[in-house]
Amino acid sequence: MTEETALTPDMLREARELARELIRCGFQEPDEIAESLVEVLDGRGLTEEEAERIVAPLWTERLAEQEAWPETTDVDRLADAFDALEDQGVVAAMDFTCCTGCGYAEIGGEAGEGSVGFVFFHQQDTEAAAAGRGLMLRYGGFRAGEEAAEVSERRTVEVGRAVVAALAAVGLPAEWDGSPHTAIRVAPLEWLNRLPH
Q: What is the CA radius of gyration of the chain?
A: 19
CA atoms within 13 A on the CB side of 150: 0
Q: Which residues contact 41 (CB under 8 A, 6 or more apart)?
A: 11, 14, 15, 18
Helix (H) or strand (E) holding 90: strand 90-93
- CA end-to-end distance (rounded Å), the chain: 32
pLDDT, one tens digit for every residue, the chain (197 residues): 344 446 889 989 999 999 999 999 999 999 999 999 999 988 788 899 999 999 999 999 999 999 999 999 999 999 999 999 999 999 999 999 999 999 999 999 999 998 999 999 999 999 999 999 999 999 999 977 777 778 889 999 999 999 999 999 999 999 999 999 999 999 999 999 999 97
d(CA 68, CA 63): 10
- Rounded Cα gap, residues 66 and 68, in angstroms: 5
The secondary structure element, H or E, covering residue 93 is strand 90-93
Domain extent listing, the chain: 3-66, 74-186
Residue 57, preceding peptide bond in cis (omega within 30° of 0): no
pTM comes to 0.91
Provide the pLDDT for residue 148: 77
CB 46, CB 15: distance < 8 Å: yes
Give the start-end residues of each E strand in 115-186. Answer: 117-120, 135-141, 174-175, 184-186
Cβ count near 128 (within 10 Å): 17
C-alpha closest to that of 123 among 105, 100, 92: 100
pLDDT of res. 137: 98
